[in-house]
Structures are given as C-alpha cells and as structure tokens.
Amino acid sequence: MTKIPTIAGVTATTVTTPRITTRVLTAGPDDGTPVIFLHGNHSSATWWEDNMVTLPSGFRAIAPDLRGFGEADTSAKIDATRGMGDWGDDLIALLDNYGYDRAHIVANSLGGNVAWWLIANYPDRLGKVAQVCPGSPYGFGGTKDVAGTPCYDDYAGGGGGLIHPKFVEAIREGDTTADTPFSPRAVFRARTWVEPPRREDEYVASVLQIHLGDDAYPGDVTPSPNWPYMAPGVWGPNNAISCKYGTDPDAIAAADPKPQVLWLRGENDVAVSNAAAADIATLGPTGLIPGYPGTDVFPPQPMLDQIRATLDRYADAGGTYEEIVMDGCGHVPYIDKPEEFDEVLQAFLGNR
C-alpha cells in the first residue's frame, strides 16, 4: 500500500488498541483539548489535514483511518449487522488509549453516521459534535419518508449492490486519471467537490487505499425479489451504512447528556440530499434499471428531511443544534472553502 505523505504540522503514527491497529494523524499540543476528525466513505484521515493544522493552539487534532480504509489493519472487518457499531467502538477504544474522558467530534458523510451512533450510545464521552454533510441517521438507500419507512421489508435498494462494478475495478487497477466516468477522480469531480482542490492527487490516492472484497468494499449483496433486485448484505462499509442497520433516532433523542450539535452542509451537496446522485431511486426514472415501480413505491430518500426531523426531535428532548448552509460548496465544504469552514468550526468549538 502506497503511503500518503502528510503536510507540515501533521504527524502520522501507528496506534494499536484492543480493537484495531490503524494510522492516526495528529496536530497541535499533546495537552490540548482533543478534537476527533472522522472521514467519510472513499477517503481517509488525509482529507482533514488542512483543517487540523488551523485549529487554535488550545486544541489537539486527531484523525484516524477508520476500519476498512487507509492504513487500518486489513484483517479488521466491518460487521455491517452492527451498523456503526464497529467504528463507534473503535473510536471509544482510541479515546481510552489516549486517556481522554471526552472529545469533540468533527465528522463528514459516513463519519457523520458514526457520530449519530456515538451520540446515541456514548454521549458522555462527547464534547461538541460538528456534523459536516453527515449521512442520514437512518442510513443510505431504500427508505421513503422522514420516519425512515423502508420501501420494502428487506430494505432492497441499499448496501453493497449500489456500487458500480466499474468503479470498484478502477480502484483495484489504481486508476488516477479522469478518463472515464467511473474513475475515482472523475467521480469526485462530479459528486464531491465544486472545483478540483489543491491536494486532489492525495485525496484520489486515499480512495485507492480502500480495502476491497466481498467482506470489505463494496461488500456482499443479498438477492431480492424487489426492485432493484438486491438488498443489503452483512459485510463492509456500504452495507453498514444501509438503512437496514441505521441508528435509531429515538436513541439519539434520548441521549443523556446531550452534546451541542452543529449541522453544516454545502448548498450544492449531491451526495447527501433529498435526491442524492447515488440514490438508486434517483436513477429509477431513467430506465437504466428496468422495472422501476415508480415514486409512489420507491421515491428518492429524503435524507436532508430525515436529518432535520431527527435534530428537531433531539431539540424537543432538550438538546441544541444549529444548521448552517455554506454557499458554493458540495459534499466537502471543509475542502471547497477551507477558510470559511474553519472560521465556522472554530466559532462552534470556542476556546476549549
């Protein structure tokens, strides 16, 4: 596996806990207040480096490669039936390894799904939680309303079957070009950022580090009689973030204590939206997959509405949250407009 160099001010170390061995990036003083950065799908801790080094001197930035990604131990598999459980338990073990009782969380996309799980299961270990274009707490694919009602009882339309084989093959072949619509660089340019960023080469390199296989990425698939004729399997990140194994919003609302939450999203985010580009229901009307049952049966998942409804319930139960939309940004506003993002994040975190 090719190692990705870090920028000045960021240190890469290998950390072993009772749960996993992985690469952890750090920046800032050892005695600073810990801020854990959680990356999304198709990426690694590398994506957070520029934001880590701009934190004020009173903070310690920590960004692990999550299980299944980057330089995490390839033998540590993701049990999708636990939803975010493997990742969440890995994070708690990391906090224990450093001797931290609590830490702030800054999470993007899949990392945001992990943050929902942490709020529901370990709220006492969390400081403030910044959710940056997070996935819906229900998961991705196959639900049709703000209550997370599945389109079918077997949650057809989510999981490892959503990933196009040509994209997986491009990763396997180490494709760094933008020559086909299935290369990681082309996919990122279409769905992730607004303009190619300064460190695009490093970000592309991180997707090529994804752990591949039926028990990893894209994961296994369960055949289904329901359109689009596949349901979630039991291994890997894409099955873990399926709506079959999502985090119960009731548990999020019941969290005690309730961390303060910032929901920050890009106005042009097509990865997490009410009509996400990768949602199989968004593609349904195009006829690419025959047999689409129509929007009455299988509408696009209202991800933004689900997130807002969950946070409203959280607030009704005594929590607090703020929603901020960054203009001119896509799925990674911390990369699209890092200075503006850092200003918002640091105001949210405060002095400590």
Residue 226 falls within a domain, yes or no?
no
Per the listing, tokens 């403030």 go with: 128
Measured CA to CA, the distance from residue 324 to residue 264 in angstroms comes to 5
Share of the chain above pLDDT 90, in %: 97
Average pLDDT over residues 223-235: 97
Average pLDDT over residues 203-228: 98
Residue 213 falls within a domain, yes or no?
no
Q: 120 with 253: CB under 8 angstroms? A: no
- Residue 256 domain boundaries: 11-153+246-349
Average pLDDT over residues 150-173: 97
Residue 167 falls within a domain, yes or no?
no
User: What CATH number should be reported for the domain holding residue 250?
Assistant: 3.40.50.1820
Confidence of residue 289 (pLDDT cuts 50, 70, 90): confident
Given a cut of 80, whether residue 297 has pLDDT beyond it is yes
The CA R_g of the chain, rounded to the nearest whole Å, is 19
| Three state DSSP letters for 140-164 | ECCECCCCCCECCCCCCCCCHHHCC
Mean residue pLDDT of the chain comes to 97
Structurally, how many domains does the chain consist of?
Answer: 1
Share of the chain above pLDDT 70, in %: 100
Average pLDDT over residues 275-289: 91
Given a cut of 80, whether residue 352 has pLDDT beyond it is no
Residue 301 falls within a domain, yes or no?
yes
Residue 170 falls within a domain, yes or no?
no
Residue 172 falls within a domain, yes or no?
no
Phi/psi at 216 (5° precision): -140, -115
Residue 193 falls within a domain, yes or no?
no
Query: Mind listing the pLDDT tens digit for each residue in 311-343?
Result: 999 999 999 999 999 999 999 999 999 999 999
In this predicted structure, what is the pLDDT of residue 174?
A: 97
Residue 163 falls within a domain, yes or no?
no
Give pTM, 2 decimals: 0.98
Query: Mind listing the pLDDT tens digit for each residue in 84-94?
Result: 999 999 999 99
Confidence of residue 110 (pLDDT cuts 50, 70, 90): very high
